[in-house]
Amino acid sequence: MNVAVIGAGVSGLTCAVLFVERGDRVSIFADEIGSQTTSAAAGAIWFPYDCEPREKVIAWALRTREVLVDLARKPDSGVSIIKLRQFCRAGRIDMPDWACSLGATGGENEFQMEVPLTDTTIYLDYLRKRFGGEIKCAHLERLEDVDLAFDLVINCAGFGAKRLTNDPGLEPHRGQVAIVPKIDNVAGAIVCDDDPLMYVIPRAHDCLFGGTNELSEDRDVDLATRQLIVAECSRALKIDPPKVIEDRVGIRPFRKSGVRLERGKLRDGRAVIHNYGHGGSGFTLSWGCAKEVVDLA
Ligand SMILES: Cc1cc2nc3c(=O)[nH]c(=O)nc-3n(C[C@H](O)[C@H](O)[C@H](O)COP(=O)(O)OP(=O)(O)OC[C@H]3O[C@@H](n4cnc5c(N)ncnc54)[C@H](O)[C@@H]3O)c2cc1C
């Protein structure tokens, strides 16, 4: 088949890899590539968060986890297994059932477990190289704008799907993070999800401080928010605030009725498979969803 994938974030790249590896001819069309995408702003830790529907999310996440655990054995992939400490400042934390079955341990207000981390500074390039095909820079007004030479269209447009498919259910869950130099003695990720949301994710060459989750489409960096993020993470680590190397803002594509993963038809009769609306879990669901897309094709 001639397959057109719309989107060069983690969802589009992962689908493109699977189609190419089963022998299809694939091109990616995207108006933002690499560091411009929401995917490049992610902490990209494996952890189901801010995404629906629950049962499907856990199944996709567990399938993805298996692939990421395998990829962690390849040094060039940017995937590693790290310890995650999830805690609440006040009150009890509920350890999810799936976390217990993956070996999480903990007490009243925290738990710990090993999770895959995809270092986006390496992993998105790894996917791009593994795909090996063409990424065409193009903004589409409608899915039907894809050249008729393609028989199948895969819609992985993230929040862009709101306009592309007129989907009123997509909500922009804005996230801002600050990237700081590597910090000594921080080997694992720390996440606190009672207010204010706070996470520290050590990566190969730097450390990611987060973060926010608010209803907004604004992609501009907010300097006051940066200051709050750095102050809260530094307080948790008991260090002086480090200098910020870079700020990133992304729009988590949250869909109230859940991830849209289904087959449909374009107005010109061609087949389309939608794969968007992964909210705060795009990396966590990437391989599970991409495999289902290929099954639907
Ligand atoms: C701060 C932050 C932290 C996060 N942390 C995590 C985490 O720890 N773990 C996790 O699993 N997830 C995390 N996420 C969520 C994750 O980043 C998203 O779910 C994921 O990036 C969505 O990927 P995507 O490929 O679907 O969309 P995107 O990365 O947004 O890519 C969409 C692509 O579609 C293209 N596109 C859109 N519209 C058009 C159009 N009309 N024409 C042409 N191209 C178009 C865009 O240019 C882009 O290439 C985080 C997100 C943020 C913002």
In this predicted structure, what is the pLDDT of residue 194? 85
Quote the ligand 1 centre to 8 CA distance (angstroms): 9
Distance of CA 95 to the CA centre of its chain: 22
State the closest ligand 1 atom to the C-alpha of 13, by its place in the atom list counted from 1.
Answer: 25
Residue 44 has pLDDT above 90, yes or no: yes
Instruction: Over range 2-6, report the average pLDDT.
Output: 98
Quote the percentage of the chain above a pLDDT of 90: 95
Instruction: Over range 5-23, report the average pLDDT.
Output: 98
In this predicted structure, what is the pLDDT of residue 94? 86
- Residue 187: band (very low, low, confident or very high) from pLDDT cuts 50, 70, 90: confident
Quote the ligand 1 centre to 109 CA distance (angstroms): 31
How far is Cα 97 from Cα 102, in angstroms, rounded to an integer?
9
Please write the tens of the pLDDT for every residue from 264-282.
999 999 999 999 999 999 9
Residue nearest to atom 25 of ligand 1 (CA): 9
In this predicted structure, what is the pLDDT of residue 104? 96
Would the pTM of this model clear 0.95, i.e. be above it?
yes
b vs e for 182-211, b when ≥16 Cβ sit within 10 Å of the residue's Cβ? ebeeeeebbbbbeeebbbbbbbeebbbbbb
How far is Cα 118 from Cα 82, in angstroms, rounded to an integer?
10
Quote the ligand 1 centre to 214 CA distance (angstroms): 16
Please write the tens of the pLDDT for every residue from 114-156.
999 999 999 999 999 999 998 999 999 999 999 999 999 999 9
Distance of CA 155 to the CA centre of its chain: 16
- Determine the residue of 38, 51, 179 to mutate for testing ligand 1's pocket, defined as the one with the most ligand atoms within 8 A of the Cβ atom: 38
State the closest ligand 1 atom to the C-alpha of 11, by its place in the atom list counted from 1.
Answer: 25
Please write the tens of the pLDDT for every residue from 211-244.
999 999 999 999 999 999 999 999 999 999 999 9
Its domain, for residue 261, covers 2-296
- Residue 169: band (very low, low, confident or very high) from pLDDT cuts 50, 70, 90: very high
Instruction: Over range 33-52, report the average pLDDT.
Output: 96
In this predicted structure, what is the pLDDT of residue 36? 95
Quote the ligand 1 centre to 157 CA distance (angstroms): 8
Please write the tens of the pLDDT for every residue from 247-264.
999 999 999 999 999 999
Task: Read off the CATH number of the domain in which 164 is found.
Answer: 3.40.50.720
State the closest ligand 1 atom to the C-alpha of 285, by its place in the atom list counted from 1.
Answer: 11
Beta bridge partners of 87: 110, 192
In this predicted structure, what is the pLDDT of residue 193? 76
- Determine the residue of 36, 39, 154 to mutate for testing ligand 1's pocket, defined as the one with the most ligand atoms within 8 A of the Cβ atom: 39
Number of folded domains that form the chain: 1
Quote the ligand 1 centre to 37 CA distance (angstroms): 6
